[in-house]
Amino acid sequence: MSIKTAQESGLALCPKCHKLNDMKQSADNNARILCSRCCGMFYPRKPYSLQYTLAWNIAALIAFIPANIYPIMILYSMGIGEPNTILSGIGEFIDYGLYPIAVIIFTASIIVPLIKIIGLFLLVYRVHTGVRLRPDKHSKFYHALEFLGPWSMLDVFVVALLVAVVELGFVTSVSAGPAINYFTLTVIFTMIAANSFDPRLLWDKKQGSKNAKEENDD
């Protein structure tokens, strides 16, 4: 193995300013280090990364249930309210024949949160056990998850816009439903979960098992 990591050389990278710092006294991963360039405290690896990711992930999964049960917006026309959940809103688009929009909303508000939650569970599991761990593939997967995160807010912004624009008194008006709270929480929780996952753990685990194998061979 030709590539050395900074950690093995007794160095640690500041996550904010990308300055390499000497890990002076100990090689302990949970020791706080003061960055010599930006004067911020940081850890060589995010502490309890897997535990935090798992916890935020479970919270996101729980919040995702009421987000789909309760109506996300209520359309009033002539004084009669018609509640819409996320799924029934998508169904409406399909009824009108607007398939591209239906696909965009379905991707942003159902598929992306689910893929993020399931994907992070998978990553945490793989890093914890080291079973069939392929760091190159998995780190690409992680970056895709991180990139997709904010796009789930789409539905929230659409509801916010509709509430503001469609305000024609008795004739038609739109008001937000309770699901929007839970849905936003889902998105925020998955974003924090993705942020607390440390992709460097993938490589550490692989390197660790490889080193152990080499020792066994000797």
Q: Kindly list the residues in this chain that would bind other proteins in the complex (CB under 8 A).
A: 3-11, 13, 15-22, 36-40, 93, 96, 98, 101, 104-105, 108, 135-136, 139-140, 143, 149-151, 153-154, 156-158, 160-169, 171-172, 175-176, 180-181, 184, 188, 191, 195, 199-200, 202-204
Task: Please state the closest distance from residue 161 (CB atom) to other proteins, in A.
Answer: 4
CB of 142 to other proteins, least distance (A): 9
- What's the CA gap between 153 and 86, in Å, rounded? 13
- Shorter beta-carbon distance to other proteins: residue 48 or 141: 141
Residue 215: enclosing H or E segment and its boundaries?
A: helix 200-217
Query: Which residue, 92 or 214, is less far from other proteins as judged by CB?
Result: 92
Nearer to other proteins by C-beta: 11 or 58? 11
Q: Give the three-class secondary structure for 212.
A: helix
CB of 58 to other proteins, least distance (A): 20
Region of residue 134 (left: phi > 0; alpha: psi -120 to 50; beta: else): beta
Determine the length of the chain. Answer: 218
> Could you tell me which residues come within 8 angstroms of residue 169 by beta carbon, excluding any fewer than 6 positions away?
none
Query: What minimum distance in Å lies between the beta carbon of 54 and other proteins?
Result: 20
Amino acid at residue number 202: L
Judged by beta carbon, residue 121 or residue 141, the one nearer other proteins is 141
Q: Which of 192, 46, 51, 199 is nearest to 134 (CA)?
A: 199
Name the 3-class secondary structure at 84: strand
| CB closer to other proteins, 157 vs 216 | 157
Three-state secondary structure call for residue 77: strand
User: What is the smallest separation between the CB atom of 26 and other proteins, expressed in angstroms?
Assistant: 13
